[in-house]
């Protein structure tokens, strides 16, 4: 699957004042990302050596399965589109405005 980061110049003022996810949830997701990155090499080494007891001593948030995809703009956790890193709602709004390159409305 092709994945890329959109470099969008979108602020909430020109986005219609979207409702954001709770700041605490967004901060928790960032903290989990940092923990995963911090322990990635150590986890890989333990898995390679089949050290499952050692894996259980690592922090719970060091496991990549604890990560939950969130919309880049407002932090929405549901209806996430991996390719664009947006929720369906934000994707639709930006696509209609023509701010996502290569995306246009289907007609047949």
Residue 36 falls inside a structural domain: yes
Q: Structurally, how many domains does the chain consist of?
A: 2
Residue 62 near residue 68 (C-beta atoms within 8 A): no
What is the extent of the structural domain holding 80?
70-100
Q: Work out the pLDDT band at 74, boundaries 50, 70, 90.
A: confident
Q: Which residues of 72-96 are buried (b: 16+ CB within 10 A; e: fewer)?
A: bbbbbeeebeeebbbbebbbebbee
How many Cβ atoms sit within 10 Å of the Cβ of residue 55? 16
Residue 13 falls inside a structural domain: no
If you average pLDDT over residues 66-75, what whole number do you get?
Answer: 88
Instruction: Examine the domain organization and report whether 63 and 74 are in the same domain.
Output: no
Distance, in Å, from the CA atom of 45 to the CA atom of 65, rounded to the nearest integer, reads 17
Residue 3 predicted with pLDDT over 70: no
Distance, in Å, from the CA atom of 22 to the CA atom of 76, rounded to the nearest integer, reads 9
Instruction: Examine the domain organization and report whether 59 and 80 are in the same domain.
Output: no
pTM of the model: 0.65
Residue 20 predicted with pLDDT over 90: no
Instruction: Examine the domain organization and report whether 83 and 44 are in the same domain.
Output: no
If you average pLDDT over residues 25-44, what whole number do you get?
Answer: 92
Instruction: Examine the domain organization and report whether 38 and 64 are in the same domain.
Output: yes
Instruction: Examine the domain organization and report whether 80 and 56 are in the same domain.
Output: no
If you average pLDDT over residues 23-45, what whole number do you get?
Answer: 92
Q: Work out the pLDDT band at 19, boundaries 50, 70, 90.
A: low
């Amino acid at each position: 699957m092709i994945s890329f980061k959109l470099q969008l110049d979108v602020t909430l003022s020109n986005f219609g004042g979207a409702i954001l996810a709770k700041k605490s949830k967004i901060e928790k997701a960032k903290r989990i990302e940092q923990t995963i990155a911090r322990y990635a090499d150590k986890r890989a080494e333990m898995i390679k050596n089949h050290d499952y007891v050692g894996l259980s001593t690592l922090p719970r948030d060091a496991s990549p399965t604890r990560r939950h995809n969130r919309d880049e703009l407002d932090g929405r956790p549901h209806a996430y589109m991996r390719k664009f890193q947006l929720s369906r709602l934000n994707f639709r709004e930006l696509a209609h405005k023509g701010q996502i390159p290569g995306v246009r409305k289907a007609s047949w």
